Structure 1
């Protein structure tokens, strides 16, 4: 298992996912009854039954556990999907319900010794999954030990050859385990789960041992192969995956650990992924929603355009595929606002007031480049950005760079004290009456925010980070930082 796959498996199983699914026998009783027994917990505590939708779990029932035992019971069948037993302050044990499977079972576990101490009654598929967890935990430890030995033996060709053979054997055993589960439980939730987690063995690269940069080439090879094939065994046509955390967890791990955060790189991997998800409405809805919110919450301003791209290509044209109409309406409004002041278009003019009461139009600023800076002295995130921008400005003011800094509050004393303490000698303005509607015109959804304008006040770049500013401006004129 490659490093990304190993890390993902460990993260996924921190919550101890337990499947209750499949089974060839149909339920003989209506409704459901889930008996829970936690060994070694002879206490009275609260138990809650949770239902998953993606990575979110919602409480749907509560019971009191006595002497380590609890019971959830209902007259109606649970709908297919992932559920979890939440034991207060002791973590969750999750399980899946499949259509046609018995919903009358007993779960016995020692929460302090999972997955070792885990047992099921009347659920052979769950028992197989518990075995799979134990197998994968042992395989992970064995692979990590081999990787460490390989690092220490890379100059010993004979030892490295033996260790590589042992590593390949472990990968083959893992492949065989997944294949056996698919044969024994075809089409089951267990098969869906292990296939989605499994990545398969990566073909060994063929780089000559004499290459000076062989280690770097091998590392890049494995990283690129993983990025191309990470979702190969995820069944995007099966909507059951949206009722588990699997899809969102894999997407989250992939884009945080395998994909470079540069917007162009993100777009290059978002499009094919959502293209695969578009095979089923529910899968597309969950994947597109998750990715949109993931990058909307990013600290990198450049990711805002990624959200716009996702909205315009995969959400707004397919709004009928999304059950959450309120979410689609929010996306539509955010996208409309994000289209304001696009790159290449002329920036909306602002006529704002200096501390001395003089009104200065943005359009009247004469400079080859103008940095339009929206900030607030009380904003913690603004402090380091302002300090860096001061240094950039001092190094480049003589080259024609100007800053039009817009204070987004109305407390004049706080603002003027800040100007004095920082020695801000650029153009400082604010909107004391609020009539200019600055935040609406520029969709100030977060602070600080930076725009770069050319001499005609056309937008060169928007929502840029201060770290990127010197290199961005250097493309047009020599600037210091």
Structure 2
């Protein structure tokens, strides 16, 4: 089994006091008489340490705490962190487990934990399906059309068998944590398209019913890998990669999650991180929206002042240079110390490049940008405006001469009066912006190939716009 790495939770998730009596979990290991075992929990895809205890000479380890642990899926990890098994933790947090490492599913026994008896029953059911799973995998591994065709009905039948088990379980145990997990794992079953509906019916139905079975008031789902998977698929595959649509969906989901503190905390954190680190251009506008709407008013109560200020500062650094906004004005000097203004530089398109003649990456990218400019961009009405960020004036001029960067508008800010680093979020180089005729930001942080493709699409679209 995979080795677990226990990470420190960045956002310092606090534990809720679910029961006054705390917890006491007694684990009896058949094959171990020493070493330290660990108790961990999921938080999205990550696993985080909750407790640990030494195993005594009888193979027994006792995990105790004065405050109850938040409900969810927990992992009991063997000494050496090489093996583990999952269990459920909910309201009842005083029980014992007998573990035989030769057969973790077949020989594990819980005492006074009905929830885990049910969970163990499900895992044993899945184990009985293993031969069918292996047979399907063997067919698919052959990678022939005939074998793939043969595997499909077998896979469909297997999936139905699992779904039937879960549906039956949900009916019999409606209050179980496992029921909440099973429901969250469901995806909408799209009905046959009505005659009066268009071709987007399936997508609209799937999107509109995606969260129907997910109980966003159940904070226990936070400590399972299910919730993050649902969030990731919805916001990275279902919701259009367009800021306005994403913002509406973020606000809608956060509103539904508000009734449970743990759920609200996790959903807001995940959305914030997802859009702060999004690889898709323009989606940083969603990050800025989330910070302004939820963090600035103080709703992220779990953050320290330092963490909060850092997050807000990051959003404020991005806010002035979002896609679609007017580029901040820049008043600088050219290479001969004459005044130079960004807005006085007339062009159909402006490629604004912040670069450093001593930067290794710039030494590669600036000549490539220049080659693309001279090969095709110049004919499209592009003006290159290069702004020196670091290095001496001599190094700057020498680089311009050596690489024959003719046709560029070269500028710098020797008195550091323009505040370009904050206005354009220049924390590394090179940083590239594409502006339209009125100096509105069309694109940013693109490589040469991406920028070339973007310009080609702009030229093909009416009125210089690109379809989303």
Length-normalised TM-score, structure 2: 0.72
Aligned to 2:231: 251
In structure 1, the residue corresponding to 2:320 is in which secondary structure?
coil
- Please tell me whether residue 365 in structure 1 is matched to residue 345 in structure 2: yes
Per the TM alignment, residue 296 of structure 1 is displaced from its structure 2 partner at its CA by: 0.7
1:397 counterpart = 2:388: no
Q: State how far apart, in whole Å, the 1-side matches of 2:386 and 2:106 are.
A: 60
3-state SS in 2 of match to 1:175: helix
User: Shift in Å at residue 127 of structure 1?
Assistant: 3.1
Trace 1:12-411 onto structure 2 (pairs within 5 A).
31-37=22-28, 42=32, 44-50=34-40, 57-65=47-55, 69=59, 71-74=61-64, 76-82=66-72, 83-86=74-77, 87-90=79-82, 92-99=84-91, 101-106=92-97, 108=99, 110=101, 118-136=108-126, 138=129, 141=133, 148=140, 152=145, 164=153, 169-199=157-187, 202=189, 227-256=207-236, 261=241, 263=243, 266=246, 270=250, 272-278=252-258, 280-312=260-292, 315-316=294-295, 319-320=298-299, 322-324=301-303, 326=305, 329-341=309-321, 346-354=326-334, 357-376=337-356, 386=366, 389-394=369-374, 395-411=376-392
Q: 1:452 aligns with which of 421, 428, 434?
A: 434
**C-alpha contact 2:88 2:116 (8 A) present in aligned 1:** no
Task: Give CA-to-partner distance per residue, 1:290-322, whole Å, 9 cap, x none.
Answer: 111112112333221121233455x25874364
Residue 210 of structure 1 corresponds to none
- Distance verdict in 2 for CA 1:368–1:75, change over 3 Å: closer
Instruction: Tell me, yes or no, if the aligned pair for 2:97 and 2:108 is still in contact at 8 Å.
Output: no
Distance 1:102 1:237, change over 3 A: closer
Alpha-carbon deviation of 1:90?
A: 1.2
Q: CA deviation at 1:477?
A: 5.9
Q: Is the 8 A contact 1:80 1:96 kept in 2?
A: no
1:470 counterpart (455, 460, 468): 455
- Compared CA separation, residues 45 and 414, structure 1 to 2 (3 A): farther
Give the secondary structure class of the aligned counterpart of 1:186.
Answer: coil
SS of residue paired to 1:79: coil
Partner of 1:440: 422
8 Å CA contact 2:285–2:322 kept in 1: the answer is no
The structure-2 alpha-carbon separation of the partners of 1:300 and 1:203, relative to structure 1 and needing over 3 Å to count, comes to closer
Q: 1:400 to 1:143 in 2, by over 3 A?
A: same
Residue 189 of structure 1: how far off its partner (Å): 1.7
Residue equivalent to 1:19: none
Shift of 1:185: 3.2
- Determine helix, strand or coil for the equivalent of 1:405: strand
SS of 1:337's equivalent? helix
Q: 1:402, CA displacement in angstroms?
A: 0.9
Gaps of 5+ in 1: 1-10, 16-26, 208-216
1:20 maps to what in 2? Answer: none
Q: SS of the counterpart of 1:371? A: strand
8 Å contact kept, 1:35–1:69:
no
Mark the CA change 1:404 to 1:168 in structure 2 (over 3 Å): closer, same or farther: same
Cα deviation 1:218-269 (Å, max 9, x = unaligned): xx99877655544332101223323444322431344445556555665575
Partner residue of 1:5?
Answer: none
Alpha-carbon contact 1:340-1:442 (below 8 Å) kept:
yes
1:423 and 1:301, CA in 2 relative to 1: closer, same or farther beyond 3 A?
A: farther
1:63-104 deviation per Cα after TM superposition (whole angstroms, max 9, x unaligned): 3446794523325242333444444441554544322x1423
Query: In 2, are the aligned partners of 1:375 and 1:382 still within 8 Å (CA)?
Result: yes
Helix, strand or coil for the counterpart of 1:291?
A: helix
Measure, in 2, the Cα distance between the counterparts of 1:312 and 1:239: 25
What are the within-5 Å matches in structure 2 for residues 405-424 of structure 1?
A: 405-412=386-393, 415=396, 418-419=399-400, 422-424=403-405
Contact 1:342–1:459 at 8 Å: present in 2 too?
Answer: no
Q: How far apart are residue 287 of structure 1 and its match?
A: 1.0
For residues 172-206 of structure 1, the C-alpha deviation after alignment (integer angstroms, 9 at most, x for no partner) is: 43232113322443312222222222337x35768
Residue 433 of structure 2 aligns to a residue in which SS? Answer: strand
Any idea what SS the aligned residue of 2:327 has? coil
Single out whichever of 374-383 and 88-97 deviates more from structure 2. 374-383
